[in-house]
Structures are given as structure tokens and as C-alpha cells.
Amino acid sequence: MAGARLARMPAWSWGVVGALAVAVPTLWSQHARGPSQVLTQQDIDRAVLHTLQTQPLPAAAAKAYEAVSGSVVRVVGRAHPPGGTEAPKNGDKAGGVKPKTEDQADDDEDGASVGSGVVIVDSGVILTNLHVVAGSRHIEVEFADGLRSEASVVNVMPENDLAVLRAHRIPDDLKSATMRSTGDLRPGDRVTAVGFPFGIGPSVSHGVVSGLKREFRSPEGEKVLTNLIQFDAMANPGSSGGPLVTDDGEVVGIVTAIYNPVQERFFVGIGFAVPIESAAAGAGLPPF
């Protein structure tokens, strides 16, 4: 994490550093072969500009996705194992929270709920939303390489709508996401959401932090979440549990809800994420 936090410089400044790394050696070589000349700032500026124009930098969202994609998983919760017929008993709950549907993908033919998750420990510890797996007797996660594994709930945080899962099997090269404190997060900072909206993905959307310390009340009024990150990167049912990341691919939040003033299940421009500090604490990780 310490290495990842090198990048407190603005994302664009790293692009300039990269351009200099390419342009200056080439320019110096050209001068070295010719008559002795003094390398001026104007020469460097021209070389950097030429490099930026001929070798465009990757989009911020592409860079963020590349950094975190190997840690994002698809989460499926079922009332019974695939192909089984057992129905859930009346009143079944997980962590004292009833199963919800407002932030999940449409149920499939088995009545499964589909959401997202992110690996935070490379031994197979995964963060997701509690409402994605609440009431499920069988949980399956699918990793970036296609490996599917059953998973167990090892901890729940109903107050933050979060659950910690542990996969029973993991890929050999599984990498955990890098988490970052939200202490210096500000409205207007760029963020990227990665997940499985409506079960499709992994899908990427990009936007900005719209506000901090927001409050969200579930449509039924049963639950109030506080201290949330508001963002406008597109999220839809099934995005729940996926990571909200910075341009460097560092996780600052877990997508948990979308605001639907007309009670319809589609994005209207307001999403909410639980700050990663709250999520990491529930997984037993040390504070930032």
C-alpha cells in the first residue's frame, strides 16, 4: 500500500513524467550525434509535446480498470445449490437483514441474486454487499480468470450493508486489490466503478465524487446508511459490492446503493459507496 500511495501527484502529472522519459533520451541522443549544442527548455517542451501527440496516454478509466480488474469477482447468491429444489424457510435472514432486490440484478431462473465483489486478501477474502448474499444458502464467486468457487460468509456488517466472504478455491495467481484511505478524497476527484450491472461484466464506468458523508435510506425505509461517498459513475442493479477506485486503481469504497426517486431500477446519476475504512475494519484489516 505504501508503494501505491506514491501517486499523490495528479494523474496527469504521471503522463508528463512518462512523456519526458521517452522524449528526453531520444532528444539527447540526437544532440550527441551532432555538433555540440546546449539542450534548452524549449527543445524539451517540443519533444514532450511531440511524444504526447504521437503516443497518446491511456484513458484514466482504462488505467484504473487494468489495476483492479484481476481482483473483481462476480457474486451469485442462491436459496439452494444449482440444480437443487430446496426452498428457503420462512424468515431466513443473514446478519439480521432481509434479502433485498433494489440494487441487485434481475433474479435468474433459479431465483439467484447477482452482485459484485472485490478481493482484499489474496487468500480469497472478498468484500461484497450484505444485501447481495442475504438469505442465500449457497454462494458462488467467479474470478477474473473464469474460476468458479463456492464461498462462505465469515463476517457481516449490517450497519454498512457489507459482508466478508471467503472463497473455498482460488486461482494460483490471485492478487488482492490495493486499498487507500479516503482521508484526502474530495468532491470532483475522478473515480471508476467496476462490477456486474444486471450480471453483465466486468463492466467499467467512470465519473467523479459528487459528495461525501451522504445518507441513504432504503426504499422501504427499513435501513439508513450514513457517511457514504456519493458518485456519478454509472451503477445499476448488480453493481452492488463492486469497488469504487481512483485513477490509480486503489479502492476507496464499495458500491452499495443507487438513488431511484421514481422507484425504478435504473441509474439516474446518483450512486453511493461505503468508504473502504469501514469495509476493511469488518475484514479485520489494520486501519490506514
Which residues are catalytically annotated?
131, 161, 240
Strand locations in the chain (E): 72-78, 113-121, 125-129, 138-142, 148-157, 162-167, 190-195, 203-217, 224-231, 243-245, 251-258, 271-275
Spatial distance between the Cα atoms of 216 and 218, rounded to a whole number of angstroms? 7
Asked if residue 19 lies in contact with residue 52, where contact means CB atoms within 8 angstroms, the answer is yes
Asked if residue 1 lies in contact with residue 180, where contact means CB atoms within 8 angstroms, the answer is yes
- In sequence order, what are the beta bridge partners of 142? 74, 148
Spatial distance between the Cα atoms of 265 and 262, rounded to a whole number of angstroms? 9
Asked if residue 210 lies in contact with residue 270, where contact means CB atoms within 8 angstroms, the answer is yes
Asked if residue 260 lies in contact with residue 219, where contact means CB atoms within 8 angstroms, the answer is yes
Phi-psi region of 262 (alpha: psi -120 to 50; beta: other; left: phi over 0): alpha
For 56, 93, 98, the CA distances from 90, given in Å and listed in that order, are: 57, 9, 11
Task: Provide the 10 A C-beta neighbour count for residue 262.
Answer: 6
* Among 104, 127, 125, CA closest to 117: 127
| Secondary structure class of 170 (helix, strand, coil) | coil
Q: Which letter does DSSP use for residue 94 in this model?
A: B
